[in-house]
Amino acid sequence: MIGHEGRGRVLILAGSDSGGGAGIQADIKTVTALGGYAATAITAVTVQNTLGVSAVHPIPLDIIEGQARAVLDDIGADAIKTGMLGDEAVVELVARIIESAGDIPAVIDPVMVAKGGASLLDEGAVAAVRERLIPLAALLTPNAPEAAALTGLAVETEDDMRRAGEALLQLGARAVLMKGGHVEGPVVVDLLMTPYAETRFETGRLDTRHTHGTGCTLASACAVGLAQGLGLDRSVARARDYVLEAIRRAPGFGAGHGPLDHGWPVR
């Protein structure tokens, strides 16, 4: 289950969620629950709860870089995971950090909008993600709106998801996990696509409002799997199983989009 280092070290570059449901908090909980070791470079501090984001405080670029370098120079990493980056300058910085880290696989979650609707990535940064981060992705994990923004294609059906996934592979991603949670229908279909193969995952849609942080959680679960040496297919399959059960066991906190139960494997 664990890779050559035996620890599954994941360096996470993402924003902090004061409500604990998404962002760095969800990432740390996920990596820990699945037996890995989480280290972080926080890109922004948000003021948020289940009802939405009310303020965002960006972290200075030199502090973001300092956090990442401190981790990589001492603790090291078996995978890198990105989340909320905010603006073009942060995207560019994170791309340079990934490039300098050598052959460590990067899971890129192109976080653009919070569950409550707040924008978490400005327009200039979308182009930077497309041009700088996607070619560095061992795995890209967009939902339908994010895939549409990155490709300019409508993403409303499974066939649309497949077309967008192919376009994202052409932009340089080594693999794309097209998430179908935003595509209407009684089942949720996710497509894991590489230039050579496609794996289709299907699960019944859960009728729940407790889905805050599902994207962060899934991407981090994939990243820790890669860090543990599970390989792409097994990492994604385990990640989906973990997230589905975390949604099922959601504690019911908050009046809005509630958090998941990240700790269920521990219990």
Distance CA 110, CA 130 (A): 9
- Residues facing residue 12 across a β-bridge: 40, 81
pTM: 0.95
Count Cβ neighbours within 10 Å for each residue of 30-41 and write b for 16 or more, e otherwise. Answer: bbbbbbbbbbbb
Residue 8 backbone zone (phi > 0: left; psi -120 to 50: alpha; other: beta): left
- pLDDT by 10s per residue, the chain, length 267: 233 445 799 999 999 999 999 999 999 999 999 999 999 999 999 999 999 999 999 999 999 999 999 999 999 999 999 999 989 999 999 999 999 999 999 999 998 877 776 777 787 889 999 999 999 999 999 999 999 999 999 999 999 999 999 999 999 999 999 999 888 888 999 999 999 999 999 999 999 999 999 999 999 999 999 999 999 999 999 999 999 999 999 999 999 999 999 999 998
Domains of the chain, each with CATH number or no CATH: 9-248 (3.40.1190.20)
Residues annotated catalytic, as ranges: 179, 211, 213-216
Query: Which amino acid makes up residue 151?
Result: T
225: its two tokens: 């799997």
